[in-house]
Structure 1
Amino acid sequence: MLSLAIIRGFVRDRASVFFAIVFPLMFLVLFGGLLGNQTQSKVDMIQVGDVSFIDQMPKDARAAFEQTFEITRSDDLADAIAQVKKGDADVAVEMQGDTLLAHYTQTDQVKAAVTQGVLQAFVDGTNVALSGKPPTYRLDAVQVEDDSLKTIQYVTPGLLGWAVAMSASFGAAATLNGWRNSKLLRRLQLSPVPTGTLVGARVAVTVGIALTQLAIFLGLGAAFFGLRLTGAWMASIPLLVVGTLCFMAIGLLSGAVAKTTEGAVNMANFIVLPMSFLSGSFFPLDVTPQWLQNLAHVLPLFWLNNGMLDVMVRGEPATAVLLPMAVLAAFAVVVTALAAKLFRWETT
């Protein structure tokens, strides 16, 4: 009877049912969409100039090659390498004598290894087809980034973006809802302290925490894991500030809608945690279906992660953060306005 009573209590508690059953099922659907029934996507290749290796492939090998690589043509090697470095393409190939020179990016190490392996297989197959002669072609793979760059360079921006998003949204949600439920918000409203001062204090604390996270991530990464930033990495600071305000707005929305502090934090978690998987915080988006890659562009965390990756790793100029900052700022304004409209001074 006691067990039956506990089960009834569990079923009647909607929050418990949601986070015990519905929330995990959401991740099943998420990872099913990410990894289930997924065919290998084509490798984006830029062919620079005439590449005799491709022209001399046997017909069946050429067909398989075109099924493996999505080929675009260019006569500008510098622009092609820049696209690879930025992540707009996976590899750029050119011919230097009988050598197929492949310029690849190390941002996605798995795809880099697969690209080199597949290219080597096609080179070997073409050499076998041209039997009776010494090997005609050879492959030389060149990394477009500095050879000294390590995996930590690519991991840091995504994990930092996720950490900032979590702390900013959770802090705002818990503070707003906690102050409202304890009636402290009403008392502060009636106090002589201007509202702008209260908001400014909360924003200053949250931004200070985000900048502290940035310092800790970069400090520990440099001291213990060989982190070495490239490009205009200082531009990540204003980007991080705007990103913090954006995720504070999500926390405010959660705090405005939920009735309890726990509910507000859970709601913020419900929004931010799946977003982190869809925005490249934990693994490259190249492994996901195209429709999920397109979906990522409407998520604010994608813009925060991608902007930091541009100036911390890809060597982009400081202006590369302007578009991500504009998107994050617009998102913050819209969500804050929605939170203000839904906010109630008293819980019902």
Structure 2
Amino acid sequence: MKKYWTGVFGQVRAQQKRFIRDKMSLFFTFLFPLLFLFIFGSIFKDQSTSFNVAIINNSQTEFAKNFVDSAKGNAKDSVLKIKDVKDMDDAREKLKRSELNGIIELPSGFGEVKGEGNNAKPAGTINVLYGKGSEQTGSALTAVMGQVADEINKHLGQPEAPIKAAGKAVGDEQLKSFDYTFTGLLAFSLMSMGIFGLANQMPAEKQRGSYRRLRAAPFTSGQLIISMAIHYVIISLLSLVMMVIVGTFVFQFNMRGDWGLFVLMAVLAAFMMVGLGLLIGGWAKNENQSAPLTNLVSFPMMFLSGAFFPLYMFPEWLRGASQFIPMTPITEGFRLIMTEHASLIEVLPQLGAVTAWILVVYIAAIKLFRWE
């Protein structure tokens, strides 16, 4: 057993020395993922000039119904983009996930006629609800609704403004678009390091005869797989740390969850992604075999795991299929921890799924490995 692990860690040290001397590998490992981060960060850091809102009508008056119909009818030409929701709970959940910029609530009794004779006019207050931490968006949305209320008051001929708009922060702090995208970028970075790096390197090493000489040492396939896994997991985690630092200090990413739980998920995710690369690279005899297999595995993970496109946008059947994608529990786990303050119990399904994939992938990688 001692000889076994001595050989493993000896190979890890050798791979680390080779890696440090390779400037091209250093660039693609540490600087290339940051280019993606700066591109996506610059895109999603900007604020939208329109507002996605939901209207919750708790009033039974005819005036309130006409207000809702008018808002939906003028949505195409308005800065307010009305989104359909089931109820207030559904609206708040979408507000929390940044699918909505705010909620326009018409309280009970809104639009009831106040006063007598010629002074009898509908009155009420429009409540503008927005996420905590999004005061700028909330103020802008409240100002827009204030202008709407002013226009209604002018038509009613009421200088005392019986129709008003009031803003209020509700629920948890709302996510920025970058916060939601950043978690997907972290998962994509681990996938790139694990799959694209190893799937291309290992067939090239086979063609140079490097593994044939190791086998004559003797050196088992298990030792080689484990040593390469340790080396690449360390490199992947270092790259991930750099992205987190840049995301936090340059793009003001707000970590809402537990750092310890994030580290646990990151380590397991790195082992799983590296394992997939070892499986592909270990089985393939040359790059002609590894390249198409890499694309076959990586493209579904990029586009169906929720890394770049939220799963709620998918049709029901595709959401079900995405649960069988290895990267899906990683993306979901990062988002639950980093943006929704999930506890260990809440992310146990994702942790369990990643652990199960690790066992399957590494057993297959060792069994299917070919020395040349």
Shorter-chain TM-score bucket reads 0.5 to 0.7
- Counterpart-to-counterpart distance in 1, 2:234 and 2:206: 24
2:324 aligned residue = 298
Q: Does 1:236 align with 2:262?
A: yes
Q: Does 1:157 align with 2:183?
A: yes
Offset of residue 163 of structure 1: 0.9
Equivalent residue runs for 1:139-150 within 5 Å: 140=167, 142=169, 144-146=171-173
Q: Is contact 2:282–2:370 with CA below 8 Å preserved after alignment?
A: no
1:188 aligned residue = 214
Task: Give the one of 59, 64, 86 matched to 1:72.
Answer: 86
- Counterpart-to-counterpart distance in 1, 2:247 and 2:369: 43
Equivalent residue runs for 1:136-285 within 5 Å: 136=163, 138=165, 140=167, 142=169, 144-146=171-173, 151-193=177-219, 195-261=221-287, 263-285=289-311
Tell me the alpha carbon deviations over residues 217-238 of structure 1, each in whole angstroms, 9 at most, x when there is no partner.
1222333333342221331211
- Counterpart-to-counterpart distance in 1, 2:85 and 2:251: 37
Q: Is contact 1:277–1:283 with CA below 8 Å preserved after alignment?
A: yes
Tell me the alpha carbon deviations over residues 193-222 of structure 1, each in whole angstroms, 9 at most, x when there is no partner.
455443332111121112101210122233
Task: Give the one of 62, 65, 70 matched to 1:57.
Answer: 65
1:98 aligned residue = 125
User: SS at the partner of 1:98?
Assistant: strand
Q: Is contact 1:171–1:251 with CA below 8 Å preserved after alignment?
A: yes
| Aligned CA distance change for structure 1 residues 61 and 106 (closer, same or farther; 3 Å) | farther
- Counterpart-to-counterpart distance in 1, 2:273 and 2:173: 33
- Counterpart-to-counterpart distance in 2, 1:83 and 1:225: 23
Q: Does 1:325 align with 2:339?
A: no
- Counterpart-to-counterpart distance in 2, 1:126 and 1:288: 39
Deviating more after overlay: 82-91 vs 240-249: 82-91
- Counterpart-to-counterpart distance in 2, 1:201 and 1:335: 15
Structure 1 unpaired stretches of 5+: 1-42
| Aligned CA distance change for structure 1 residues 228 and 195 (closer, same or farther; 3 Å) | same
Q: Is contact 1:231–1:314 with CA below 8 Å preserved after alignment?
A: yes
Q: Is contact 1:154–1:309 with CA below 8 Å preserved after alignment?
A: yes
* AA in 1 matched with 2:370: W
- Counterpart-to-counterpart distance in 1, 2:156 and 2:309: 42
1:311 aligned residue = 337
| RMSD, aligned α-carbons | 4.7
Q: Is contact 2:248–2:254 with CA below 8 Å preserved after alignment?
A: yes
| Aligned CA distance change for structure 1 residues 93 and 51 (closer, same or farther; 3 Å) | farther
Deviating more after overlay: 186-195 vs 80-89: 80-89
- Counterpart-to-counterpart distance in 2, 1:196 and 1:209: 20
Q: TM-score, normalised by structure 1?
A: 0.63
- Counterpart-to-counterpart distance in 2, 1:105 and 1:278: 31
Q: Does 1:85 align with 2:96?
A: yes
1:345 aligned residue = 370
Tell me the alpha carbon deviations over residues 100-140 of structure 1, each in whole angstroms, 9 at most, x when there is no partner.
24345999xxxx99xx69x959x769958x95664535363
* AA in 2 matched with 1:260: N
| Aligned CA distance change for structure 1 residues 100 and 54 (closer, same or farther; 3 Å) | farther
User: SS at the partner of 2:127?
Assistant: strand
Offset of residue 142 of structure 1: 3.8
- Counterpart-to-counterpart distance in 2, 1:304 and 1:260: 29
| Aligned CA distance change for structure 1 residues 72 and 93 (closer, same or farther; 3 Å) | farther
| Aligned CA distance change for structure 1 residues 344 and 336 (closer, same or farther; 3 Å) | closer
Tell me the alpha carbon deviations over residues 3-45 of structure 1, each in whole angstroms, 9 at most, x when there is no partner.
xxxxxxxxxxxxxxxxxxxxxxxxxxxxxxxxxxxxxxxx896
Offset of residue 186 of structure 1: 4.2
